[in-house]
Amino acid sequence: MAPLYPLLFTIYFRLMFACLFEIGSSSNAVNKEAQSVERFVSVALLDLAYCFSPFIEESADNTLVLDLNGYELLFDSYRDIAAGIAARAAHAELKLNIAIANDPDTAILVARHIGGIVFVAPGEEEAQLTDLPTVVLDPALVKINSAKAIEIIETLSLWGINNCGQFAVLPEIGVIERLGQDGLRLQRLAKGTNNRALVPRKLKPKFEYSIQLEHHLKELEPLSFVLARLLNELCASLDAVALATNELYLYLKLEKEKEYTKTLNLPSPTRESRTFIKLLLLALETDPPEEPITEVHIGCNPTRPRVTQYGLFQPLAPEPDKLEMTLARIGNLVGKGNIGAAELLDTHRPDAFSVRHFAVRSRRKGSKKRLINKQPLIGFRRFRPLLQAEVQTLNGRPLRITAHDSLRKLSGRIVNLAGPWRTTGDWWSGDNWSRDEWDVSIKDSSGSETLYRIFHERSSDKWYVEGVYD
Amino acid sequence: MTDEYVELHARSAFSFLEGACVPEELVSACLRMDSSAMALLDRDGVYSAARFHMAAKKCGLRAHIGAELTVDFGTAGNPIHVSVPLLVKTRKGYQNLCRLITLIKMRVPKNTPCAATPDELAEYAEGLICLTGDRRGPLAHALHSSTWHESLHNPLIRRRDADPIVLVEWLLETFGRGNVYAELQRHLIREEEWRNQATVDIASKLKVSLLATNGACYSTRDQRQVLDVFTCLRNHVRLDEAGRLLARNSERNFKTPAVMKKLFADLPQAIANTIELSSCLTFALDDLGYEFPRYPVDNSHTMDSFLRKQTYEGARGRYDGRIGRPSYERALEQIDRELALITKLKLAGYFLIVWDIVEFCRKQGILVQGRGSAANSAVCYSLGITAVDPVGMELLFERFLSEERGEWPDIDLDLPSGDRRERVIQYVYETYGKAGAAMTANVITYRGRSAVREVGKVMDFDEPTLAKLSSLVSGWEWKDPNYKAEHQFRDAGLDLNSPRISKFLELYKLVQDLPRHLGQHSGGLVVCQGQLDSVVPLEPASMPGRVVIQWDKEDCADMGIVKVDLLGLGMMAVLEDSLELIRDAYGENVELAHIPYDDAEVYAGLQKADTIGLFQVESRAQMSCLPRMRPVKFYDLVVQVAIIRPGPIVGNMVNPYIRRRMGRETPDPLHPLLEPVLKRTLGIPLFQEQLLRIAMTCAGFTGGEAEELRRALGFKRSVQRMKEIEIKLRTGMERTGITGKTQDMIVQSISSFALYGFPESHAASFALIAYASAYLKCHYLAAFTAAILNNQPMGFYSPFTLVKDAQRHGLKVLPVDVTRSDWPCTIEKVDNALCLRLGLNYVKGLRELAGQAIVRERTAGPFLGIQNLSYRVPELRKNEVRALASVGALNHIGDASSSTGFSHRRDALWKAEHASREAGELYRELPEDGHQSPLNRMTLDERINADLRGTGITVGRHPIAHHRAELDDLNVIRAVDLARVADGSYVRVAGWVIVRQRPGTAKGFMFISMEDETGVSNAIVTPDMFDRNRITITQNPFLLIEGILQNQDGVVSIRARRIQALEFHVGTSVSHDFH
């Protein structure tokens, strides 16, 4: 009779791993670049995995590997563990392939490409993988770059080696001599003898907090206490990992299945919960939710905190947080789109500008421009809103003009004029324009002459006074 | 026309992305606006000057030439590029402008910004008028410069780029008072008016004349949109983000004198000066001063006498009284007539120079043959320029040269393509100097795909939409006339009701045929006595060592600039290589001039349409015609080459000719007078010479008038001109008594045919090459096949088809083998039989450098193994060794019987992989380990696939042969057996698709040729059938086609009723598709 000890060692002291591969789960929602860094694994699959083992590796998209070491003591056999996982998965409506093997990579390959529930007994890895085509050998598992792996697979194909079994029987030295260490690693993967250590998943810091309210909130004041609590937790999380945020989002669930969202963008990152609360409350005052609130969620995009070095001779700018709050308050009064800094647009379209969110910017070295312009300048005061006019013309040239509104009035004979200055543009869009401008000198009843700029909008055949020259 | 205002600063689309209409449109606008003259100033060139001149000449307008020259007024490291408008006043001025442009263009690579220095401008200023320019001109720059207003008061600041006064003074000094004008433009822009006021002040201070221009960049206002699109393309931005790069308004159109007068009502002198200046610009392109180079002769000769001497000497050799050839005396009569005309037209130099090029080729052993209308000349034949005897063939000399035509004769020389042609081009450069010879340009215009891509990009359409849209631009030669741009846009899923998409469509149509960039013509070479750069500016081509002129070949012809076309012809290279291989392998010295033209075996092959690989007669259409034509003599081949052309096909002349040829119809010359003219072609006019003779015989045209008729009916038909010619033709015919229906038939036959007609001389030149190729294939198959394989790509068929055809003719083809193969394919003697050995050039991925190194190293001793090969040929890269091993080229390396020998490709691959890894100095010399590899042999399918992937050829059995049993089960008939099946039978054929063709003349029908192990079968697919099976037909390498067999007069084809793909596992295609 064979001694019992080696048999026991083989059965009980080998590490075993289970691979869970979720079928049909899509990672499309995740940005492609992010995929290469962060694997896509569904929350349900993660929850399921944590029910069975605290050591979990996110090996690839939809793929988790569990360290089952010690679990054989709780279950009768590894097959029972697999059955247990399958039962849970069925309960959670997850479609899984499950493979248990002594080698984590063998478990992954089997789970991905064989399917169902498979238990690979120690020593049977090579036999289990033998029919798998070589193209399924995942280079990432053995840390080979994909271009190199493709080259190796192509060489194997030229050799007539198309499945793992054929690859496995090639002499190791011959493989090293021809395909190098990368070839050997890939061959070991094909044999099921890679035997690497698992890289367990680390828990990530949380930047989302929420609360379900027992009593629905109708007022902002009680909401401020809830927000304060959540924001304190959020800012503490940020503080713990030395991060801040410049983008905070609030999601409120309302009665009657309605939703309310608000995003705060700050000019510079911070983790001051008081600032956030004030800004959020200001935003909510301007645009309050229509229904009582049932749930509150708060989250943020973490980023590095602001680092500022003040110069000795640099004038002090207002604190960005305070400035933001002031701007928010003014925005509440004048309307959000009406506050900021005007910025000219790069176009021939007259008076084209946009309102940029106001932010204090430090002046860079060398950006000083010469403000001296020795050419004579003439000031121009633009009428806002434009003043519509009635213009008498002769051969297309203005002769006499009358225009007035509640504030301004002008009327008279045009004694001098220059023009027309024609601009047309954006012909490819529905928002095209075409107008003729004239600089006209008008003599009023008192006999004094004033220089105005008027224009004729050719599409509507209307005349306007655009402004007056100083 | 009124003389109230002349536009002296217009720009066309030949300013490449800085103008939006062609010069002809500007000329039309000029006519519409009642203007008598115009000046065209393109950016750094006179690209459109010839077209502008010709268009203006036709309408009686005066075309002033000029250019906007980029000048750098900055300092080193701080360039200030401004645009100086220059108008040509005299011929000297034109020459200076051309030289100046050449100077700046030639010192930088193609498509690199270039600029003249002020000193260079001063050096070449004579004969030119300078304008102070528009917003990009020197004066505008100086006015906008930050210091200009200071400099008015501060004499210390006196830089010409910063001080407008200094600048204008400098211009006056450089060009001379009276040759500088202060330019004013009014496009209703405020800043421009400010500049105008300043310009008027400066002009009045310095007493410079004012000149009003509109800087027209397009003829109509809507073309401003095209200019905006071009601006975006130039600046690589989208319309939405172009901002102030775009035009401020649409005022740069061509304006009427009345509008201009109104615009400049306050400055009438500026308008009046345009008339005055226009009258001073005396230069026109008629006065180009071009002179073809003189051929150097010694003192005892003039060029004429030397030409006569050379011609007579040549004629003695050509017309030696041998059977079938005209006598020397008879030829002399024609030669003297030609020489007299050549002397009268002062063309002796031209003939001698072409003769000199031909002599150079002969001395260098480069095969050369003149083609085109030059073959109508007995002088050219005697000088050895052409190989067709025009006296014996009674060809019409007037087609080549006539006194009335007043243009240079056209001699095209066919040369072997590749390096040998390049050697001849470089010889011409060396002989006439870099500035004395250049290639003609080829203007690339916006067409279907490029227009879609570039306009779409500017309008910010996404890449998949543009890809889909451009994929719908027909790639086949056949263009459905009903498939318009609107259909194309709709099929791409674009909604034409959307304003943005309809704008895209509008712009797409507007940019069609506008010039995009300048390319290089494939062979047109212009030479000039003296300096070519004083006739037309030269610029570097993208190809190193090449220089290109700014005009295309049509412009050169219009301007009377003679060009010699040095055309690369793949078949010439094949013939030349074949002759060399025959000398080496067969030990025979064959000369093309002496091959017999009555070889029965050659004609037997032609009659059977056994013409794969032959010149001109290998196409599907030719093959279907040959068994009916049954050529028995050389002239039949001349007809054969000419008849399968768009002209005869469109003119419905092919079938009547074939019926007459087969005796099913009586030849009927349209009129008894035409009997001698049309006798040789059985009453059907096939050649341009016949058209000329018809006009001469029936309507009493002179040779020159007849040639004029041919040109009027040519590609650029003008309705007006055609009407005039038709009236003349009918009047002439009335005089000779040809009236009524006969007259109508003759007119109809002339006008329908002339568009695509083929010159008989040209057909004869091609027929010579076609016959030579047939002769060599028939008698020297190994040499011909090796040569044609060495000159791929060319012709209709892939190397695979050529090899299989040669194998069916009994040639043994040996695979690539590093122990035997040279770089090109060669001939080997095996068991006293000549076999073809595939060259290393057929191993895909193997560089010539490495291949040649293998051959070189092999001479030092045989390779002892793959490791030894890798060590001795360090040029070999890892993937190259692998490529060699996978096609079996390393199977025979070393001694197969020894422990280092290999028996199969996988062994070689196993070893090759080891050998190509760097072993280091210590192990390099170690013998290879003798163990066999653990790998299995390749299966048959794997070997075929490896051959096709690695070389495109397999020398073993045809891939279809391996599936014959399956095909037999499907009742598929072999290609060779089809000829025995009765006409009208329902048959199934299958094979590897070797050609897919949808000719422009076939009304949408598609022709598919498929190959099996026995030969080629042909199928005809109707347009409907093609539309239903488009993907199956175009995407699958193997097809099974069933349908009705047409077996008539030895021509066999299947009218497809059902088409399906065959799933044979060969991972590559060998088809040549004609788009």
pLDDT, residue B147, reads 56
pLDDT, residue A3, reads 47
The nearest alpha carbon in chain B to A179 belongs to B913
CB contact under 8 A, A374 and B938: no
The nearest alpha carbon in chain B to A429 belongs to B500
pLDDT, residue B844, reads 94
Question: What pLDDT digit, counting tens, does each position of A160-186 carry?
Answer: 999 999 999 999 888 988 898 999 999
Question: Nearest CA to CA, how far is B189 from chain A (Å)?
Answer: 5
Tell me which chain B residues have a C-beta less than 8 angstroms from the C-beta of A424.
Answer: 248-250
Q: Does A170 touch chain B (CB under 8 A)?
A: yes
pLDDT, residue A11, reads 46
pLDDT, residue B926, reads 57
Smallest CA-to-CA distance from B483 within B491, B514, B1029, B509 is with B491
What is the rounded CA–CA span in Å between residue A338 and residue A354?
10
CB contact under 8 A, B149 and A374: yes
Q: What is the DSSP letter of B793?
A: S
CB contact under 8 A, B188 and A420: yes
pLDDT, residue B668, reads 80
Strand partners, B597: none
Buried residues in A67-97 as b, exposed as e (16+ CB within 10 A): bbeebbeeeeebeebbebbbebbeeeebebb
Instruction: Give Dmax (Cα) for chain A.
Output: 130
Q: Does A160 touch chain B (CB under 8 A)?
A: yes
pLDDT, residue A32, reads 38
CB contact under 8 A, B189 and A436: no
Tell me which chain B residues have a C-beta less than 8 angstroms from the C-beta of A179.
Answer: 913
Q: Does A225 touch chain B (CB under 8 A)?
A: no
Query: Going by DSSP bridges, is the β-strand pair B1006-1012/B1015-1021 parallel, antiparallel, or unpaired?
Result: antiparallel
- The 8 Å CB, 24+ separation contacts for B969-975 are B970/B1040, B972/B1040, B974/B1012, B974/B1013, B974/B1014, B974/B1015, B975/B1010, B975/B1011, B975/B1012, B975/B1014, B975/B1015, B975/B1016, B975/B1017
pLDDT, residue A105, reads 92
CB contact under 8 A, B188 and A418: no
pLDDT, residue B1070, reads 64
Helix and strand totals (H; E) in chain A: 12, 17
Give the C-alpha distances (Å, rounded to integers) separating B842 from A122, A143, B869, B870, B886.
Answer: 51, 37, 19, 20, 13
Among B913, B940, B1065, the residue to mutate for chain A (most A Cβ within 10 A) = B913
Question: Nearest CA to CA, how far is A174 from chain B (Å)?
Answer: 8
Helix B719-735 to helix B740-754 angle (10° resolution) is 140
Per-residue tokens: A22: 């979720």
Indicate if the pLDDT at residue A73 is higher than 80. no
Per-residue tokens: B205: 């201070």
What is the rounded CA–CA span in Å between residue B786 and residue B613?
11
Helix residue ranges per DSSP H, B713-836: 719-735, 740-754, 760-779, 781-790, 799-808
CB contact under 8 A, B499 and A430: yes
What is the rounded CA–CA span in Å between residue B206 and residue B172?
9
What is the rounded CA–CA span in Å between residue B669 and residue B683?
4
Question: Nearest CA to CA, how far is B79 from chain A (Å)?
Answer: 22
The nearest alpha carbon in chain B to A171 belongs to B934
Tell me which chain A residues have a C-beta less than 8 angstroms from the C-beta of B222.
Answer: none
Q: Which residue has the tokens 């030439």?
A: B65
Helix B799-808 to helix B781-790 angle (10° resolution) is 170
Residues 6+ apart with CB under 8 A from B945: B1065, B1066, B1067, B1068
- DSSP labels, B600-635: HHHHHHHHTT--TT-SSS-SHHHHHHHHHH---SHH
Tell me which chain B residues have a C-beta less than 8 angstroms from the C-beta of A348.
Answer: 243-244, 246, 248
Question: Nearest CA to CA, how far is A270 from chain B (Å)?
Answer: 34
Among A166, A169, A178, the residue to mutate for chain B (most B Cβ within 10 A) = A178
The nearest alpha carbon in chain B to A158 belongs to B886
What is the rounded CA–CA span in Å between residue B353 and residue B409?
13
Per-residue tokens: B226: 């095209």
Helix residue ranges per DSSP H, B109-216: 118-123, 138-144, 148-153, 164-175, 190-206
Indicate if the pLDDT at residue A66 is higher than 70. yes
Of B465 and A245, which is predicted with more confidence? A245
CB contact under 8 A, A169 and B934: yes
Among A159, A433, A453, the residue to mutate for chain B (most B Cβ within 10 A) = A159
Question: Nearest CA to CA, how far is A327 from chain B (Å)?
Answer: 30
What is the rounded CA–CA span in Å between residue B937 and residue B934?
10
pLDDT, residue B154, reads 53
Sheet holding B813-814, edge to edge: B813-814, B833-837, B826-830
pLDDT, residue B264, reads 95
CB contact under 8 A, A420 and B250: no
What is the rounded CA–CA span in Å between residue B18 and residue A470?
39
Query: Going by DSSP bridges, is the β-strand pair B1072-1074/B563-569 parallel, antiparallel, or unpaired?
Result: unpaired
Question: Beta-strand (E) ranges in B161-258?
Answer: 180-185, 209-213
Of B249, B503, B914, the CB nearest to A423: B249
Question: Nearest CA to CA, how far is A421 from chain B (Å)?
Answer: 5
The nearest alpha carbon in chain B to A424 belongs to B249
Tell me which chain B residues have a C-beta less than 8 angstroms from the C-beta of A436.
Answer: 188
Q: Does A335 touch chain B (CB under 8 A)?
A: no
Indicate if the pLDDT at residue A6 is higher than 70. no
Element (H, E) at B547: strand B547-552
CB contact under 8 A, A430 and B910: no
Of A155, A419, A428, the CB nearest to B239: A428
> From the first residue on, what is the mean pLDDT of each consecutive set of 10 residues in chain B (1075 residues)?
84 93 92 90 94 92 95 83 95 95 92 91 95 93 69 53 83 93 95 93 94 94 94 94 94 93 94 94 88 84 92 87 72 90 88 92 90 85 88 80 72 88 89 84 86 90 81 56 69 78 88 88 80 90 86 86 87 93 92 86 93 91 90 91 80 84 84 84 84 85 77 62 80 86 82 70 89 95 96 90 94 94 94 93 95 94 88 91 92 64 80 76 58 83 90 91 91 93 93 87 86 93 88 87 90 93 73 64
Average pLDDT over residues A282-306: 88
Smallest CA-to-CA distance from B216 within B477, B90, B33 is with B33
Q: Does A425 touch chain B (CB under 8 A)?
A: yes
Percent residues over pLDDT 90 in chain A? 31
pLDDT, residue B1009, reads 92
CB contact under 8 A, A375 and B149: yes
What is the rounded CA–CA span in Å between residue B565 and residue A204?
74
CB contact under 8 A, B246 and A425: yes
Other Cβ atoms within 10 Å of A361 Cβ, number: 10
Of the CA atoms within 13 Å of residue A106, those in its CB half-sphere come to 30
Residues 6+ apart with CB under 8 A from B956: B943, B944, B947
Tell me which chain B residues have a C-beta less than 8 angstroms from the C-beta of A429.
Answer: 499-500
In sign, the C-alpha dihedral spanning A60, A63, A68, A72 is negative
Most confidently modeled range among A225-229, A233-237, B157-161, B844-848: B844-848
Average pLDDT over residues A267-285: 86
Q: Count of A–B CB contacts within 8 Å?
A: 77
CB contact under 8 A, B935 and A422: no
CB contact under 8 A, A421 and B188: yes
Chain B residues whose C-beta is within 8 A of a chain A C-beta are 149-150, 187-190, 193, 224-225, 228, 239, 243-244, 246, 248-251, 459, 499-500, 503, 882, 886, 906, 909-910, 913-914, 917, 934-936, 938, 942, 946
Tell me which chain B residues have a C-beta less than 8 angstroms from the C-beta of A421.
Answer: 188-190, 193
CB contact under 8 A, B149 and A424: no
